[in-house]
């Protein structure tokens, strides 16, 4: 059995094939801490929410933390700030391991392949020299798998461009960053990524809109990025018709993310002699939470046009089933690798 593992800054998700079925598991990559009182314990038990005790209070992980944050007026804290595994945070690393194990079942046979993305992005070769990635590699190996890093943008191409022989451009606009890849027949040609994404946009919007939250028990102030994220995701006005201050700022910040990624991608294209030999027009597929914003496809097309992109492109297509598109591509990669190894 092969398995796909997408440990994102927003959600951890796995996808595997069991007979003729695809089985997915997911959990939000956040946690929260509640006061350790009898009343809080009773409410959590009545709600059927799993929790554990720690020296600071009652600890909720993943979906349980996210689903109860509004009820208890507490802050949901990201486990992967900026897409990085915290180095000097033993509790955070333990929670990340627990979250990964909650979605990543034990391998049925030793050495089964696990294709996974790296939070915050991997390089063109699908490798990584980041010290924090070794922590994820150990978790995967402890579950009985042989890990293989696959860039999210390549997984997107494998998932969506089957009819184009895995040739085209994949753009991923995620929580901790954004990346772009040009591939020909499933082989990466050039790759670019930037370190700003949904988390950065929400922090900017929360600061500009003065969206402040308060811990109910302690009165501690914090930027309420969760409230901003919900507001951002509920915007129904196309970006080109933005009217309110919030919508205009959102459009401006999204344009900055798209423009910076495009500029970085153009630099990599100019460095690659093979890029000019790829047959055109190229399909462009786009995924990630930011890409679901109403009017994002129009904004992306405008930025690509204004940049005088050197390759002939088809109209960008937003992937509707964004959350599972990358895991599907990871699973395709795992099965292709398994078939190649068996040949």
φ, ψ of residue 70 to 5 degrees: the values are: -65, -35
Q: Does 187 lie in the same domain as 73?
A: no
Query: What is the Cα–Cα distance from 316 to 319, expressed in whole angstroms?
Result: 10
With tokens 């700030």, the residue in question is 81
The count of domains in the chain is: 2
Residue whose entry in the numeric block shows the structure tokens 């979906």: 63
DSSP E strands, the chain: 3-7, 11-18, 21-28, 30-34, 52-54, 57-61, 77-78, 112-116, 145-149, 168-173, 178-184, 187-194, 212-214, 221-223, 284-287, 317-318
Contacts of 90 (CB under 8 A, 6+ apart): none
Give the pLDDT of residue 214.
80
Question: Which two tokens mark 311?
Answer: 């390759």
Are 296 and 273 contained in the same domain?
yes
CB of 166 closer than 8 Å to CB of 183: yes
Give residue 182's pLDDT.
97
Same domain? 73 vs 180: no
Q: Which residues of the chain have pLDDT under 70?
A: 1, 124-129, 216-217, 340-343
The Cα–Cα gap between 116 and 237 comes to: 35
Q: Is there a contact between 14 and 6 (Cβ–Cβ < 8 Å)?
A: yes
Residues 69 and 101 in one domain: no
pTM metric for this prediction: 0.90
Structure confidence at residue 125 (pLDDT): 63
CA dihedral 59, 175, 255, 278 (to 10 degrees): 180
Sequence-distant (6+) residues with CB within 8 A of 85 are 92, 93, 96, 119, 132, 133, 135, 136
Residue pair 153/159 in contact by the 8 Å Cβ criterion: no
Verify that 48 and 138 share a domain, yes or no: no
Give the residue from 46, 77, 108 where a domain finishes.
77
Residues 250 and 283 in one domain: yes
Cβ atoms 174, 197 nearer than 8 A: yes
Q: State whether 52 and 144 are in the same domain.
A: no
Domain boundary among 42, 77, 112: 77
pLDDT at 216: 67
Query: Do 96 and 239 share a domain, yes or no?
Result: yes
Both 131 and 48 in a single domain?
A: no
Say which CATH number the domain at 332 has.
3.30.420.40
Last residue of a domain, one of 15, 48, 77: 77
- Same domain? 105 vs 63: no
Domain boundaries, position 117: 3-29+79-342
| pLDDT of amino acid 76 | 87
Q: Is the dihedral of CA 284, 285, 289, 294 positive or negative?
A: positive
Q: Which token pair is 299?
A: 């904004």
What kind and span of H or E run contains 226? Answer: helix 225-234
Q: Are residues 23 and 118 in the same domain?
A: yes
pLDDT confidence of residue 51: 87
Q: Are residues 97 and 72 in the same domain?
A: no
């Amino acid at each position: 059995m092969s398995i796909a593992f997408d440990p994102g800054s927003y959600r951890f998700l796995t996808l595997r094939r069991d007979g003729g079925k695809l089985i997915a598991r997911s959990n939000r990559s956040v946690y929260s801490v509640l006061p350790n009182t009898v009343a809080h314990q009773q409410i959590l038990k009545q709600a059927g929410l799993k929790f554990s005790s720690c020296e600071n209070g009652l600890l909720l992980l993943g979906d349980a933390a996210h689903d109860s944050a509004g009820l208890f007026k507490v802050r949901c804290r990201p486990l992967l700030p900026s897409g990085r595994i915290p180095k000097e945070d033993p509790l955070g690393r333990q929670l990340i391991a627990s979250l990964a194990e909650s979605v990543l079942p034990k391998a049925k046979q030793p050495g089964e392949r696990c294709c996974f993305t790296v939070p915050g992005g991997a390089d063109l070769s699908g490798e990584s020299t980041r010290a924090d990635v070794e922590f994820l590699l150990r978790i995967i190996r402890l579950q009985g798998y042989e890990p293989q890093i696959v860039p999210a943008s390549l997984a997107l191409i494998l998932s969506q461009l089957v009819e184009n022989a895995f040739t085209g451009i994949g753009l991923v606009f995620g929580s901790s960053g954004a990346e772009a890849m040009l591939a020909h027949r499933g082989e990466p040609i050039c790759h670019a990524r930037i370190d700003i994404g949904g988390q950065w946009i929400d922090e900017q919007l929360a600061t500009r809109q003065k969206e402040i939250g308060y811990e109910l028990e302690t009165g501690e102030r914090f930027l309420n990025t969760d409230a901003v994220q919900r507001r951002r995701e509920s915007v129904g006005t196309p970006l080109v018709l933005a009217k309110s201050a919030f919508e205009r700022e959102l459009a401006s910040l999204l344009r900055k993310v798209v423009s910076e990624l495009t500029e970085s991608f153009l630099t990599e294209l100019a460095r690659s002699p093979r890029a000019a030999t790829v047959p055109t027009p190229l399909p462009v597929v786009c995924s990630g939470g930011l890409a679901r914003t109403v009017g994002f496809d129009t904004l992306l097309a405008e930025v690509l046009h204004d940049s005088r992109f050197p390759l002939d492109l088809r109209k960008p297509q937003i992937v509707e089933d964004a959350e599972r598109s990358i895991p599907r591509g990871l699973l395709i990669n795992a099965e292709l690798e398994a078939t190649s190894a068996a040949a």
